[in-house]
Structure 1
Amino acid sequence: MAVTQFNTEAMEQCRTTVSSQAGQFGAIGDGFSNQYGNPEIFGKLGASGAVSSAVSAMDQAGAQEFEAAEKVLRKVESALDAIQTSVHDVEEANKNSMRAV
């Protein structure tokens, strides 16, 4: 049976990187909120309302996508944390079960 090895430093680096990326995606998404196009900026064009609606729909879609990306990255961070905790707990239990002869 092969011995499983875990690089705890690599897992922690991955977890912290994912955490910072999640925050960055969230910040980008926050920048989208309420940036709706005003039809008046297009002058008296007949399609001003349609262009404004398209800009608003794009704004909402962008905000939703960046929010979804942040949530996925937060789940990855949580899963990595759970793995680290589990590995640590198993290693502690194994260490404590060893008895000097």
Structure 2
Amino acid sequence: MGKESDTFLDDEDYPAYTMGRAAEILGTTPGFLRSLGEAKLIEPQRSAGGHRRYSRYQLRLAGRARELVDQGTALEAACRIIILEDQLQEALRLNEQLRQQDSADG
């Protein structure tokens, strides 16, 4: 394997998984994955042939959605919760980054 393929293996946003494989990994159905797309939680990339392809990051979000739905949360509400959790994580990460920058500058 060359450098380029190593990069793909490390990239959590690389669309490496087919819909069937993603559903198998998550223990769910392709229909559930399609419903997450309809709810705007995840937007899979498409292969040249038009097939949906999912990244590890998208599989994590889908797995979280499945947990919430299995606990009785409505799909739309579960998707909104996950989006808000994701936004919070990003805000906390940026805040920490800024704090570290301020420490280094000060």
Which TM bucket (shorter chain)? 0.3 to 0.5
TM-score if structure 2 supplies the norm length? 0.34
Larger radius of gyration: 1
Larger RCO (CA under 8 A, 6+ residues apart): 1
Structure with bigger strand share is 2
TM-score if structure 1 supplies the norm length? 0.35
